[in-house]
Amino acid sequence: MPYFRIDNDIFLLRLDPYELQVYAYLVFCAGKKGECWPSTNTIARALGMSQSTVIGKIDSLVRRQFIDKRTTTRRSDRGRISTANNHYHIRSVAEAKMAHERFLGAHHGTPGTLTDEGDI
């Protein structure tokens, strides 16, 4: 039976329940490659969320450095260029934790401490 793993430290980084679900789904989609291209509509259907909630949580995960997002384009048979699914690079929890600590150090002067503000 297939499965995926997420480091237990994910719970120290104070993701809200929706951020955690979106991050876990992207980890699931990315597999060992650490990259995936699901549409926001696909993510929303899989998780039972609205598409606007998914978009907001993806933006939050990018801001908090859990994922990188790159907009991609495609060319139609007629040569028209349009937006395609986003390309996501999933950072490990360890990478996100280091980014979190750098952020706190830069904004609060106390590297390595978590706050109740949830502001990364």
What is this structure's pTM?
0.79
Domain hosting 33: range is 8-108
DSSP-derived letter for residue 10 is: G
pLDDT in the model for residue 68: 95
Higher pLDDT, 112 or 108: 108
Assigned domain for 116 exists: no
Name the domain count of the chain.
1
CA distance 37 to 86: 6
H helical segments located in 5-92: 17-30, 40-47, 51-63
Assigned domain for 120 exists: no
Assigned domain for 18 exists: yes
The pLDDT tens digits for 15-60 are 999 999 999 999 999 988 899 999 999 999 999 999 999 999 999 9
CATH number (domain holding residue 30): 1.10.10.10
